[in-house]
Every structure is written in structure tokens, then in C-alpha cells.
Structure 1
């Protein structure tokens, strides 16, 4: 059944209603020429039918999508609610090169919140992250982050018409989307437009240096033989552009701290400060923050063919920080304390790249006076790839978006859903309830069940069977990391002095 028309700043939209939830899909929030900043879409006067997802952002496997019309969002809102509802604004992941809002059906969360759920598209790969402003292409820097900001602006201005509360917006995202959330939260332009933030499985290094981003752009221009005419990149066919980026990426992957070539960039303009410094100085102390990761994050990347570049770069970075002897001490301790089903090498890399950076950010926010909660997802969903790989990267996300008692299909990722086991349902229900409580109140659970992260206790919530709390800073592994980090810091101080 079609909904009544809902007014927006650009024109009225019509969605579809099913099972007491209204869905508005493919709503344009902006338009953009290649390598240009997003602008408001052309206005319309007749009600626009928004019942199907909009075009995906161009990406490998979907290079036939329309570039100019990929900036759309999707809204799910409960029907018949007579009060403004909290809003969850979700930024998808996909290593900054794949994905889209169409992979996340928010109807179940909207109905059970009740809450308004928003998923967005933003430009990916070279179209969203290739930094070309130093090569004469004006505003071509951090375009994907500017897309997300434009979507947030649209939601803040229009969501009241869909039953949402513009003063109760939660920024949320997973993987690359979590990096976007952390960066977006620190932008002065975003202040006052959101009230809390959730980041699931943010990579260890959220921000790239401007010099490295410039080197990526230079190599792509060289690969396309456009060094003398950079502006011509705006008319290169998408298959040719993406193929050139892939070749450059393979050569550059081992030269980055994160093993990736794209991501938000500390460009001094859009992102003027390192986001962690903004959290540390207390600028965001009034923003409740939930940081989460999955127990076996790195398994998926170890099992990829070939293994993801972040595997090699993470080991190299640990060795650079602590020396070969420090690396061997860590690996020896991980082997000595490994669970029966645990790969010690994977566990060490997961801690180095995912878990410890998240804990460090939690410490910064807590020390600055902010409310923060830290979680780890230990449940193995009965859905591939998790059924064979355990609670690896994305396991929490699969349960977050499930329509109990079923996992949902992910059309862009080409993953089928399926029925959930009783254990899946139990853990997913707890995870969703915590998220919806956080979106509603800024607190994911009562203090007795899940205390906020504070020094020196550092409680870590474990989503498994049963849900429980463990101290983050206990155990042989934690003590060795602290010892090695202190030694490294003392070495740097001696060298600086």
C-alpha cells in the first residue's frame, strides 16, 4: 500500500507501507558531478514515488550505475506513532569501495524501536576518496565524507516530516562506515546535528595522511597517462578508471599503515584535525559513544585469497613499534594462552588492528569526561561466512539487521539470508535491544548489567551466550601489550630528548 505524500525541502515523496512500517527508498538527498562536491538535487513539485532503492554508487560489479544519481537514502518509520521518534543514521561499510544502503533493510528495527531508521549511499572508491584537489580539481577532497555530511544535513532538516526527532539522531556505522562515523562526528559542520555515535569494527587507523592520499592520486594519474592533464580524469570511462585504481592499489597496499588505499584523509580543510585528538580534548564529551568489534575480526581477511594486505601491514607495524623481539614475545604469549579453537596469530592481529585501537579511543573519550561503552561480539552466527569462520568481521552486523527469526538477504554483497538458530535469536535480540536503547536514551543497558567504560575498571561487554562483562585490562596478553607500549614510549622520549 502506498503512503500519503510526505513533504521534503526538495519536493513531496510517496513510500510504501507494510506491516505498520512505512518505507521510503531511493530518496535523493544530493546530486554531484564527478569529482565535484555534492549539491542539493533539482526540486520537484509532483509527489515522487520512492518505493525502490536508488542506484548503487558505482563499484566493482556495478559500474553501470548512474554516477550523478547515486546519492540517495532510505527511511523506515513506524506508522501511527504520535510522538517524535529517535533516529538511527547508518553509514554502510565495504572497505570504502563497495556496499550501499540497499543491503540494510531497517523495517524490523523501526518497528521494534520504535525508531526511524535511515541508511545512505555515498560515493565509493576513486569517486569518493581519490584526493585530487592538489592536482587542480578544486573541491575534490574527502568527497565521500562530504556526501555523508550532506545526507546528515538532509535528515536533520527533513526527518521530522517522517516522524523522527531531529534532536535525537545517532550516527552509526560498521567497518568503513564506522571510520566515517568517527571522522564525521568531529567535523564542526556536524555539531548540533547528532546526539550520540555508534562505531562497529572501525579499522585501527581511521585517517590517512594528506601526503599518502596525494601519492595515491599521483600514481592513478600516471597509470592513466594523465599527469599533464589531470582534469581529463573527469571523463575517463568508469571501467578504465576503476581498473587503473585496482592496479595502483595492488602495488600500494603494502605501503600503507592500514593496508588500504582509500579512506577519510586529514586534508586540513574538510578534516582539519586528527579525530582522536578531538575526542581527547573533550570537544565531544557530551556525545555518548558505543564502540564495538568482533572477537575474530581478522579471520575473514586471513582466509581471503590472497590474504588481505592489512595482514602483512599489521604485522609489520607491530614489529616496527616493538622490534622483532617484541613481536616474538607477543606471539609466544598468544600461543601459550590460546583457546582450543583460536589461531594465536589471528588473535594477535585482531588485537593490534581492531580491538586495541577501539579501546584506546574509549580511553580517550572516557578520560575527557565522555560516556562510552565498549563491546565485543563473540557469537558465531549460523550463516556463512560466520558458520565456517566464527565471529569474524561483520558477525555483529548480520545480527543487528536480522528480521528475527531470519537473517536478511544482502543483495549488493550477494549474500543470502536464512533462518536463525535459537542461539542466534537470543544474542541478536539482546544486541538489537541494546542498540535501540542506545538510540533512544544514549545508554545501551542499565548500569548494573553493562557499566560504562571508565578508568581503571575498563569493563568490556561480551555479546554471546550468556551476555556478560569482563575486565579489559586483565590477563597476560593485556599486561604484555602495556609493558611493550611503555617501553616503546620511553624509547621515543629518549630519542626526542
Structure 2
């Protein structure tokens, strides 16, 4: 292993290694371990260490329940001492490269930085790639408003602390602290959008690329967060305001209770209602992120946003489909009350989507894809484009090979295309992602170059794709699939039926 030179930052000295011409630094702590009295609290900046930190191995990921996406056969080690980041850089010179800061997904309860490799992006784009761990589930998003010495949204505050670390230290790794693009997928994308409503995040990044995640129409609700905390503390047999007692319970026992609760929620038919997620809180997120956007507080942030065509069909791999039209109506009617809509409006939506789709499962998954992914993304782009012209939209349509391609472009399938990691071992125990071949590698190259170009100058255009116009009244959307092309207002009929529904809800 060829080692890098020793880098000295404010906290201490560290040394990484060189792989394929890229300097790699793994497991770099950006905050103190959130244990003991720091559990459930905002992160504390990393203290100094002595000696030279060997930054050559991934650190443990945040404690979490098992997931179908957990790498097999050996899942990564997890522990509360997880607030670390990984860096890939072409050189630790003074060139001041664009920084691409990735926030992983996983429903705010699973995932980790160990699943990602920044070498292809760093090599191709001469950029610095940073991937972080942050607290998940009840350890990152439990809401206990009456407990003393407690902070909400600590998982998001971890991300802000990591961004502050980048602002302070990334020049030592060849990066430009004044040119930071945050990008992420699923919950990572939702987290990025949540940062728009958090004053502490202001000025820490210049651009954002939320992939398959936005401001959820059912998100940010304190009522659900309080109910989740009550259910969890009941399973733990402890008073919900006894934060000192909660800090003494092992992380393993908390995750065990979380797993049991998740199963109860699934059996109750409310699997889509995230129990642990960002919420509006006067101290950390005083207003809804979209309200901040509408008021022009985010006008200096350039936006590249998009979704996959068949997001929700991924879950067909684990959960039973919709048997008939009656079950379809019953399932979707459950969404009416939380969204503040009548059942009649939900039935109108079902009728529209049924015009071109006959299978109840396909209709259901398409409506849910639009409800939780596509339409919220469009809403954010509509609002942001009023104050920031450099707003762009995409849709990913390349199908997964699962079930002979019948599932389409499911949730998360675009990630290896963006990272250029199609030829690397799968991070899941089934072949969800397309294999590396000439067609997929060409598509990956086009996407990587768009993401890199946007990170460099706020414009995703390059010579290998059609002209990609800013998102305006014609709703220009770049389609990344077997063909790469621009379509104005894709699925416009379905989009328009939501025009009077999903804005935001405080």
C-alpha cells in the first residue's frame, strides 16, 4: 500500500493511501463520538488527537436494523462512534477543486458511507469527493420535546457539522471550500432539501443535487414524531421524558426495539410513514424548507433535481402487490386524511392513472412514485426556479435487469451510474443494478459528466448530451435512459392532476 504524505489539520495529523492515482482518506472523524451525555445532542466538534491517524479503513456505520440493501455476506460493523467521513482527492495540492459531498439514503434508518467509492468521480472530474456517516433512526431523529438537554434533528445537525468540517479543512485535501455541491439519494436527498430550512446550514454549500428524494408531502409532522417516540419508549419500558435513562440503554437494545416497532408498523399497513425523519423545530428547523425557498432564502443555491421513473416498484421485491381495484382504492384512500384531501380526489387520481395502466399494482406504485418522489421534486424545482435560474430537472429511465426488466427504473438504480461503479461488486445481495457493458458505461459517463459539470459551474451541459435547458414554463427534463434526450413536461397529464394538492404542510 502506497501511503500519502501526512496531512495536518486543526484536529491533528492523518495519513491515507493512494489507489488508482487517487488519494484516499477513510474514517476521518469530524465530531466527537455521540455517546454518553452526547447521545441525542447536537454533535460536538472533534477535539484534537495525538500522533498520526491512519485513515486507511472505513469506520463503523451508525447503529441500524438489518436491511435488504445491507452488503453481503458480511455487513459493516456498526457503533455509535460513527461520525466520520471519507475523502477521495486527485491531489492534496492547492488547486482548489470542486467538492462533491454525498449524503447516503436509507429511510433515515439504514445505510452508511462504506457503500460508496469516490475514485471514478474524482478521477474523471478532477473533483474532491466526500462521503459521510451520520446518526440514523432513533439515535438520529427521535423527538423528545419535553426532555431537558435534548436536540431535535441531530442526524441533520451531524451533516451540518460535517459540512463545517469541509469548510474548514478541505483546502488541505485539494478542495475549494467555496465550491461545495451536496448530492444524495432517497433520504439523503430529503436531508439535503431539509437543510434549506435550517439556518445553521446557510452558506455551507453552493449547489445541490437531490436524487429521488425531496420534501415529503407527509414529512416534518410533529404529531407522527411524538407518536413514534411514545411507541419506542413504551417498548423500551421507560418514560418518554427520561432522557438520562434513555442514554443508559444500549444502542443494541434501542435498535432491537426499533426493529420490532418497524415490523408492527408494516403489519398495520402504514409502511410509507417514516417514523424517524426531519421535522420542523424552532431551534433547528424553524420553518418548512419550501417556505424558505418561497421566501427567497435559498436563491443563491443552484439546483439539479430528479427522480427515477419507477421508484416504488423496487418494493415489489419484498411486499405483496395490489390484488384488485377495491384494494387499490382502500390503500390509497388511507393517504387522503394525512394529505388533507378528500377520498373523492384520490379516486379521481386513480381514474386518471388507470387510463393508461390496467394492473392495480402498477397503478398503485406509479401513484405512490408521483406522490412521494416526482411531484415533490417538481414542486421544489418550480419554486426554486423563480429565484434561481440555474435550476435543472432530470428523469432516469434505464431499467433494472430484475425480472427481465419488467420493474423498470426502480429506486436507487441510478447510484452506480452517477458514481461510475457499475463494474464493482454489488452492494446488495441480488443483481438490482445493470451490468457493466458498452451501453451502460456510455450512459454512466454522460451522467457523471453532467454531475461533475454542475458541481464545477452550476451547469450540467456538456458536448455528449443534447442541450439541457433550465427548468422553466416548458418544464425541460433530461431523460437518462437507453436514449438520452430532452422531453418537455413528461407525463404532463399525471402531473397536472396534482396541481392543487401537494405544496407543503407545516
**How far is 1:285 from its partner?**
1.1
Preserved CA contact (<8 Å) 1:281 1:368: no
- The answer for the alignment partner of 1:372 in structure 2 is 391
Work out whether 1:278 is the aligned partner of 2:285.
Answer: no
Q: Aligned match of 2:233 in 221, 224, 244? A: 221
Structure 1 stretch 139-148 or stretch 184-193: which is displaced more?
184-193
Q: Aligned match of 1:91 in 103, 118, 136? A: 103
- The answer for the alignment partner of 2:78 in structure 1 is 65
Q: 1:302 to 1:321 in 2, by over 3 A?
A: farther
Q: Aligned match of 1:467 in 479, 484, 506? A: 484
Q: Aligned match of 1:106 in 108, 118, 125? A: 118
Structure 1 stretch 15-24 or stretch 330-339: which is displaced more?
330-339
Preserved CA contact (<8 Å) 1:174 1:199: yes
Work out whether 1:452 is the aligned partner of 2:470.
Answer: yes
Q: 1:312 to 1:400 in 2, by over 3 A?
A: farther
Preserved CA contact (<8 Å) 2:280 2:288: yes
- The answer for the alignment partner of 2:147 in structure 1 is 135
- The answer for the alignment partner of 1:236 in structure 2 is 249
- Deviation string 1:64-94 (CA, Å, 9 cap, x unpaired) is 6331x21100000003766210000100001
**How far is 1:354 from its partner?**
1.1
- The answer for the alignment partner of 1:434 in structure 2 is 450
Q: 1:173 to 1:479 in 2, by over 3 A?
A: closer
- The answer for the alignment partner of 2:438 in structure 1 is 422
Preserved CA contact (<8 Å) 1:379 1:427: no
Q: 1:255 to 1:388 in 2, by over 3 A?
A: closer
- The answer for the alignment partner of 1:24 in structure 2 is 25
Q: 1:381 to 1:400 in 2, by over 3 A?
A: farther
Q: 1:351 to 1:318 in 2, by over 3 A?
A: farther
Could you tell me how far apart the structure 1 residues matched to 2:359 and 2:265 are? 36
Q: 1:392 to 1:474 in 2, by over 3 A?
A: closer
**How far is 1:312 from its partner?**
8.0
**How far is 1:168 from its partner?**
0.3
- Deviation string 1:171-194 (CA, Å, 9 cap, x unpaired) is 111100111111123322222221
3-state SS of 2:46 partner? coil
Preserved CA contact (<8 Å) 1:295 1:376: yes
Could you tell me how far apart the structure 1 residues matched to 2:275 and 2:312 are? 18
Could you tell me how far apart the structure 2 residues matched to 1:338 and 1:478 are? 16
Preserved CA contact (<8 Å) 2:392 2:470: yes
- The answer for the alignment partner of 2:72 in structure 1 is none
- The answer for the alignment partner of 1:6 in structure 2 is 7
3-state SS of 2:24 partner? strand
Gaps of 5+ in 1: 490-497
Could you tell me how far apart the structure 2 residues matched to 1:255 and 1:274 are? 27
* Paired residue total: 478
**How far is 1:116 from its partner?**
0.1
Q: 1:135 to 1:280 in 2, by over 3 A?
A: same
- The answer for the alignment partner of 2:302 in structure 1 is 288
Q: 1:64 to 1:2 in 2, by over 3 A?
A: closer
Preserved CA contact (<8 Å) 1:179 1:206: no
Correspondence list, 1:347-386, <5 A: 347-382=366-401
- Deviation string 1:5-41 (CA, Å, 9 cap, x unpaired) is 1111111110010221000000011122222321123
Work out whether 1:247 is the aligned partner of 2:260.
Answer: yes
Preserved CA contact (<8 Å) 2:65 2:259: no
Q: Aligned match of 2:88 in 76, 88, 91? A: 76
**How far is 1:53 from its partner?**
0.4
Q: 1:202 to 1:478 in 2, by over 3 A?
A: closer
Q: 1:307 to 1:398 in 2, by over 3 A?
A: farther
3-state SS of 1:317 partner? coil
Could you tell me how far apart the structure 1 residues matched to 2:376 and 2:198 are? 20
Preserved CA contact (<8 Å) 2:92 2:172: no
Q: 1:190 to 1:479 in 2, by over 3 A?
A: closer
Could you tell me how far apart the structure 2 residues matched to 1:318 and 1:27 are? 45
Higher relative contact order (CA 8 A, sep 6+): 2
Q: Aligned match of 2:59 in 28, 47, 54? A: 54
Q: 1:315 to 1:376 in 2, by over 3 A?
A: farther
Structure 1 stretch 244-253 or stretch 125-134: which is displaced more?
244-253
Structure 1 stretch 178-187 or stretch 209-218: which is displaced more?
209-218
CA RMSD, 1 decimal: 3.1
- Deviation string 1:38-70 (CA, Å, 9 cap, x unpaired) is 112331232211011011111124796331x21
Q: 1:191 to 1:134 in 2, by over 3 A?
A: same
